[in-house]
Amino acid sequence: MKMYLISDNVDTHTGMRLAGVEGCVLHTRQELRDALDQVLQDADIGILLLTEKFSREYPDIVNTFKLTHTMPLVVEIPDRHGTGRKPDFITAYAGEAIGLKL
């Protein structure tokens, strides 16, 4: 199993390449759709890293992909500008999942 990155900027792509993760840099809706189709063609890709910007700009494409495919696992990562999430995102997410205030 290998990881693959779909990024919206060259800096994130370069950093991940230095870590040994292949990927591509995209900017349009159609490029994202084409890249996701290409990822599905490669059975060796087990984890798809996707910059958060794509989830904000094209939630319909990203959510449909997540809901209709069990592989690869989609992990949204922040780009060089940081995350768009609140600082306590993980604590809040865990609290919502189990129904308790942590």
Q: Is the pLDDT of residue 88 over 80?
A: no
Coil, helix or strand for 25?
strand
What's CA 12's distance to the chain center, in Å? Answer: 12
Give the model's pLDDT for residue 89. 57
Give the model's pLDDT for residue 55. 85
Beta carbons within 8 Å of 73's beta carbon, 6+ residues apart: 46, 47, 48
Task: Please state whether beta strands 45-51 and 73-77 pair in parallel, antiparallel, or not at all (unpaired).
Answer: parallel
End-to-end alpha-carbon separation of the chain, Å?
A: 35
pLDDT digits (tens, 9 = 90+) for 13-54: 998 899 999 999 999 999 999 999 999 999 999 999 999 888
Q: Which CATH superfamily includes the segment(s) 2-98?
A: ATPase, V1 complex, subunit F (3.40.50.10580)
Beta carbons of 31 and 23 less than 8 angstroms apart: no
Give the model's pLDDT for residue 2. 93
Rounded Cα distance, 102 and 100, in Å: 6
